[in-house]
Amino acid sequence: MKGIFYGIGVGPGDPDLLTLKAYKVLEKVDLVCIPKSRMEKESVALNIVEKALERKLDILELHFPMTKDQAELARNWDSNTEKIVEQLNQGKSVALITIGDPLLYSTYSYVMKRILKNHPEIKVETIPGISSAFACASELNVILTEEEESLGIVPANADKEYLLKAIQSFDNLFLMKVAKSYDLILEILEEVNFHGQAYLISRCGHPDQLITSNLQEMKGKEIHYLSSMLIKKGVK
């Protein structure tokens, strides 16, 4: 019998933000896959899970190098998917863990898509995780949305036009991975004469978490790659 494939979101940092479901599956699953962009780097997702669990996990590290070459990306997703399928075919249950939620800008998505398409006989179960947007708002005690307001969740690794449009379109905006475009975002906020509330949050839920609403203070400084901004236009 083939094993079940689980995609598990482990939240942004605090091990206690794992769901009961994630915890229960991770306590019994045969194999845990860790996607890594660089093999020598520590896995944030694994660190979170190891803090939450009692047991020792059986680990399979998978290399998903970052590249702009779409063909190479596809080849890596294909071959990593087949490595997972090999384990499932042996009857093992396999979980792939990711920080935040597994269906929001996550490597898991690409693997899931391939398994559903090429191996329809395999049972796939996705277990949602707390996305950093929600964890950050909770850390801040700041309302994400009320009444008829919208919330936009958008990656910040885009160009100025894209970011400007996002800032204009949403009542509340959560910008993910702002490290490289931080100064540009401040510039846009100035241009649109922004007068709402905005926060920078780095490493949400980790022991070295940083939160500030003094955005100017961080201008020009090195910002951790696990950083986001919550931008609230209308504050009641």
> Whose Cβ is closer to its own copies: residue 105's or residue 194's?
105
> What CA–CA distance (Å, rounded) separates 61 from 96?
10
42: tokens are 């520590």
> Whose Cβ is closer to its own copies: residue 150's or residue 220's?
150
| Distance of closest approach, residue 183 Cβ to its own copies, in angstroms | 20
> Whose Cβ is closer to its own copies: residue 9's or residue 218's?
9
> What CA–CA distance (Å, rounded) separates 89 from 2?
5
225: tokens are 């790659």
**7 by DSSP, 3-state: which?**
strand
Binding site for its own copies (CB under 8 A): 7, 9, 11, 14-21, 23-24, 52, 101-105, 109-110, 112-113, 116, 124, 126-131, 134-135, 137-139, 141-148, 150-155, 157-158, 162, 166, 169-170
| Distance of closest approach, residue 47 Cβ to its own copies, in angstroms | 16
**Alpha carbon 82 to its chain's center:** 23
| Distance of closest approach, residue 201 Cβ to its own copies, in angstroms | 13
> Whose Cβ is closer to its own copies: residue 116's or residue 192's?
116
> What CA–CA distance (Å, rounded) separates 45 from 120?
27
| Distance of closest approach, residue 220 Cβ to its own copies, in angstroms | 25
| Distance of closest approach, residue 229 Cβ to its own copies, in angstroms | 15
> Whose Cβ is closer to its own copies: residue 174's or residue 218's?
174
Contact 229, 210 (CB under 8 A): no
Give me the sign of the Cα torsion angle 211, 215, 218, 223. Answer: positive
